[in-house]
Structure 1
Amino acid sequence: MKSKKVIGSILLSLSASIWGGMFVVVKIIVGTIPPIQLVWLRYLIALVVLVGFSVATHTKWSFNRHDIGLIILIGIIGNTISIVTQETGTWLSNAQTGAVITSATPTFMIIFAWWLLKERLTKVSVISVAMATLGVIVIVGIHLTGSHILLGVISLIIAALTWALMSVLIKLVSGHYQPLQITIMSTTVAILCLTPFVMHNFQIIRQINFFDPKVVLCLLYLGCISTALAFVMWNTGLRLVNAATSGLFFLLQPIVGTLLGWLVLGEPLTWSFVIGTCMIIGSVWVSVRFEN
């Protein structure tokens, strides 16, 4: 049991770290490719990678028609609405604002887990989430800057809510399906949802310079690593760790984002980063150590 919790914690940490780099990549590319088209392209790339991996590894598929509605909900709520609103919110505000607002995700996960999974609201989970959220705020502060900031904030709140709901819904079906299968099916649903919007303005796709190294590298990161790899790891980790604890790992994103800003952009590291990082890591340790 403990070994599964450790493995789940590692997988959730890795996926959250990958998504920390995603904020930077999205901010770079979203000025060239609008959010809906960007999400559609990253899912197309991810689907090719996931299906190819499934075929290469001879993954066994199972299907229960009673779960079709739940799979569609996961694809619409998490893979479509959450990701589109996250990238839209980051585009209209900034990466720091996105990190702060999406730090509400663990709180929403606890509420949804209590409602849908009947998980207990414990002192440990409440204290852990409070510590982690304060840690994020200490790291990045609250810098409400950017064009159309109100729309950006609203989009990011929707992103946090829908991602939390999607993560809890996955736990309702994860016992019946392999994480790879769940990821492929939900990604397919997202592509079907987004395709009509993309086709309506297909000239945007035609205008993209796919020979630009910046465009290619960003799409490969978003499609292969941030979507195909990270989604499978996240979905696997959700099977091994309870919802209240798993949501805390989501907050490793601002740590990675700030470190990348220091390494890549030369942005300074401050004592607030050190203190906030200790609070987030401490909150995860408290939850993993003391939560039943």
Structure 2
Amino acid sequence: MNSKKMLGALLLSLAASIWGGMFVVVKVVVETIPPIELVWLRYLIALVCLMLFAVIFHIKWRFNQRDLGIIILIGIIGNAISIVTQETGTWLSNAQTGAVITSATPTFMIIFAWWLLGEKLDAVKIISVTMATLGVIWIVGVHFSGTHVLLGIFSLIIAALTWALMSVLVKKVSGTYNSLQITIMSTFVAFVCLTPFVLSHMDVITRAHYLDPKIGLSLLYLGIVSTALGFVMWNKGLQLMNAASSGLFFLFQPVVGTLLGWLVLGETISWGFVFGTMMIIGSVWVSIRFAK
């Protein structure tokens, strides 16, 4: 593995680990601030942080008009739809379910990379997709009770699909921009899209107790660490590796999310949940071990 791929692997691993912890933070704060408003606040904080990064590193902007459509799609599909459904799903289920079901993202990325980028879809990739799908189905079966839980699981599956599509679309953006610029533009698109919904429920924003350490620190983590740093690292890692391989590093997300859900929130780990997780992790191992 050359130095660029090593750096890409490191950045993708760090981003996925950060997002694993994010599920626990979301589960804590989403009881006070609903998902759409929470994502909006998260992006507001992230944009301030990202623009400071751009000033500090003297980023020069050269906009390529032919990338406008892709940037808008990345913002709507990945930063808006995926994150809102992810936080909604975590709210309606639990941190473990959120971390594990969205870890099916790598297999969806393989399909989208084949469809949109022409990356070869071989037997190894098909087997890994099948294993991850069975793992998700097993988890769904284990938690197959209660209307809200079912809606949460559906939301999380949508989150995994849309994040996978967004990650592949990032590969289609021209080399005109660095990862910081892509993150700023896509986050701004999502922020604008969510603003009309938030303005109609401003009472939710104004009555939140931001001085409560649980709320304030959670928002700072989600905005600065999980969004600003996490998104930049993920987008940079995507630029350094092919789409199918990039998705494999989502493995760190369910591991961190499950462990923190157990340690911090006291969520139980059932055998069915463990089996589903092992199936998803096994799909990643098959992709790494037998890929040509």
Question: TM-score if structure 2 supplies the norm length?
Answer: 0.88
Amino acid at match of 1:66: R
CA distance change for structure 1 residues 6 and 54 in 2, over 3 Å: closer, same or farther? same
Question: How far apart are residue 92 of structure 1 and its match?
Answer: 1.5
Question: How far apart are residue 5 of structure 1 and its match?
Answer: 1.7
Asked if 1:167 corresponds to 2:167, the answer is yes
Structure 2 portions without partners, runs of 5+:
none
Structure 1 portions without partners, runs of 5+:
none
Question: How far apart are residue 167 of structure 1 and its match?
Answer: 0.5
Question: How far apart are residue 273 of structure 1 and its match?
Answer: 8.9
**More displaced stretch, 95-104 vs 275-284:** 275-284
The answer to whether the 8 A contact 2:23-2:257 is kept is yes
Residue of structure 1 in register with 2:231 after alignment: 231
Superposition RMSD in Å: 2.7
**Counterparts in 2 of 1:157-236, with a 5 A limit?**
157-173=157-173, 175-236=175-236
Amino acid at match of 2:198: V
Question: How far apart are residue 166 of structure 1 and its match?
Answer: 0.4
The answer to whether the 8 A contact 1:97-1:142 is kept is no
Residue of structure 1 in register with 2:103 after alignment: 103
Residue of structure 2 in register with 1:44 after alignment: 44
Question: How far apart are residue 242 of structure 1 and its match?
Answer: 1.5
Q: Residues 240-270 of structure 1, C-alpha deviation per residue, up to 9 Å, x if partnerless?
A: 2211121121232111012223443566789
Q: Residues 12-63 of structure 1, C-alpha deviation per residue, up to 9 Å, x if partnerless?
A: 1111111100111111010100000000000000010111011011122221
Residue of structure 2 in register with 1:151 after alignment: 151
Task: For 1:179 and 1:283, locate their aligned partners in 2 and report how far apart those are by CA, in whole Å.
Answer: 28
Q: Where do 4+ consecutive residues of structure 1 move more than 3 Å?
A: 126-142, 144-147, 261-292
Task: For 1:66 and 1:159, locate their aligned partners in 2 and report how far apart those are by CA, in whole Å.
Answer: 27
Amino acid at match of 2:14: L
Task: For 2:138 and 2:149, locate their aligned partners in 1 and report how far apart those are by CA, in whole Å.
Answer: 21
The answer to whether the 8 A contact 2:95-2:258 is kept is no
Residue of structure 1 in register with 2:62 after alignment: 62
CA distance change for structure 1 residues 252 and 163 in 2, over 3 Å: closer, same or farther? same
Residue of structure 1 in register with 2:258 after alignment: 258
Amino acid at match of 1:126: I
CA distance change for structure 1 residues 291 and 177 in 2, over 3 Å: closer, same or farther? farther
The answer to whether the 8 A contact 2:107-2:128 is kept is no
Percent identical pairs in the alignment equals 73
Task: For 2:7 and 2:42, locate their aligned partners in 1 and report how far apart those are by CA, in whole Å.
Answer: 27
The answer to whether the 8 A contact 1:96-1:143 is kept is no
Residue of structure 1 in register with 2:113 after alignment: 113
**More displaced stretch, 250-259 vs 140-149:** 140-149
Question: TM-score if structure 1 supplies the norm length?
Answer: 0.88
Amino acid at match of 1:211: L
Task: For 1:227 and 1:146, locate their aligned partners in 2 and report how far apart those are by CA, in whole Å.
Answer: 31
**More displaced stretch, 271-280 vs 68-77:** 271-280
Task: For 1:73 and 1:80, locate their aligned partners in 2 and report how far apart those are by CA, in whole Å.
Answer: 10
The answer to whether the 8 A contact 1:93-1:145 is kept is no
Task: For 2:201 and 2:275, locate their aligned partners in 1 and report how far apart those are by CA, in whole Å.
Answer: 46
Task: For 2:183 and 2:49, locate their aligned partners in 1 and report how far apart those are by CA, in whole Å.
Answer: 11
- Give the number of aligned pairs: 292
